[in-house]
Amino acid sequence: MGYVTNFIIKGDSILLSLYLVLWSYNKNNSQDYHQSEIQAETLAGVCYSVVMICSIPYGLLLERISKFKTLATMLCFTALGCFMINFADDPKSLYSYITMVIIGIGISGLYTAALYLINTYS
- Rounded to an integer, the average pLDDT of 38-58 is 88
The C-alpha atoms of residue 48 and residue 118 are separated, in whole angstroms, by 21
Q: Are 107 and 12 in contact (CB under 8 A)?
A: yes
Q: What is the pTM of this model?
A: 0.82
- Rounded to an integer, the average pLDDT of 4-22 is 76
pLDDT number for residue 55: 82
- Rounded to an integer, the average pLDDT of 107-117 is 78
The C-alpha atoms of residue 99 and residue 24 are separated, in whole angstroms, by 14
pLDDT number for residue 80: 93
Percent of the chain at pLDDT > 70 equals: 90
The C-alpha atoms of residue 122 and residue 46 are separated, in whole angstroms, by 32
The C-alpha atoms of residue 16 and residue 6 are separated, in whole angstroms, by 15
Q: Mean pLDDT, the chain, as a whole number?
A: 83
Confidence of residue 98 (pLDDT cuts 50, 70, 90): very high
Confidence of residue 121 (pLDDT cuts 50, 70, 90): confident
Confidence of residue 83 (pLDDT cuts 50, 70, 90): very high
Q: Are 97 and 67 in contact (CB under 8 A)?
A: no
pLDDT number for residue 5: 64
**Which of 39, 47, 46, 13 is CA-nearest to residue 91?**
39
**Which of 104, 103, 107, 111 is CA-nearest to residue 84?**
103
